[in-house]
Amino acid sequence: MERSTLEHSGIQLEPNEDIITVVRRDLLIFFARLSFLIIGIFLPLFAIPFITPLIDQISNERGVTIFFVLYSFWFLILFLRFFYRWTDYHLDVWIVTNRRVFDIEQQRLFSRIISVFPLENIQDITVEMRGILATFFKFGNLHIHTAGDKQDLIIRHARHPMEVKEVLSRIQHEALEKK
């Protein structure tokens, strides 16, 4: 699966380069960002007693049916929006190999930024977990400070950031020992 992510982004792995782990945003963040969709699904239903009599007046007592036809169209917009957000969430990924870290950030459906960070350039890794939810559900920001002019890599709302930090430290140590 991870290889298909790389292929889709036009990235080829080097010989003897293996994928160690894949990091994604926590699902809780994905659902939190969708809260307006949940409100959008239920809000029109509360308006049925007020809207249907109005539609009845212009449609010869067929207000409820017409309301649900219009509601279906509204639901379709929310449905497409949900899958748009999900695709964005699923394609936003950080892939750690035994040589590099790939940061694939899907901004919109046809807009993405791909950054590659060689492991030897990593100088320091900081984990930031703020708040009750982040502590209980184990997600947080992972700051990877790199050498040179390149901007630091920040993995926001990553799932299990402590484990990712340990994996990164271990493979970086192994890579340095091999040299």
Partner 1 sequence: MDIPLTTILWGLWFVFAGVWFIVTLMFQYHWSSYAKHDTVVTRAMIAYYTLSVFILGIPAILITSL
Q: Applying CB under 8 A, which of residues 35, 83, 113, 177 lies at the interface with partner 1?
A: 83
* DSSP assignment string, 51-118: HHHHHHHHHTS-HHHHHHHHHHHHHHHHHHHHHHHHHHHHH-EEEEESSEEEEEEEEETTEEEEEEEE
**Residue 131: other Cβ atoms inside 10 A:** 10
Q: Applying CB under 8 A, which of residues 3, 145, 150, 173 lies at the interface with partner 1?
A: 3
Residues in binding contact with partner 1, number by CB under 8 A = 26
> Within positions 7 to 46, which residues make up the interface with partner 1, using CB under 8 A?
7-8
> Within positions 44 to 63, which residues make up the interface with partner 1, using CB under 8 A?
59, 62
> Within positions 101 to 160, which residues make up the interface with partner 1, using CB under 8 A?
109-110
Helix (H) or strand (E) holding 127: strand 122-128
Contacting positions for partner 1 (CB under 8 A): 1, 3-5, 7-8, 59, 62, 65-66, 68-69, 72-73, 75-76, 79-80, 83-84, 86-87, 90-91, 109-110
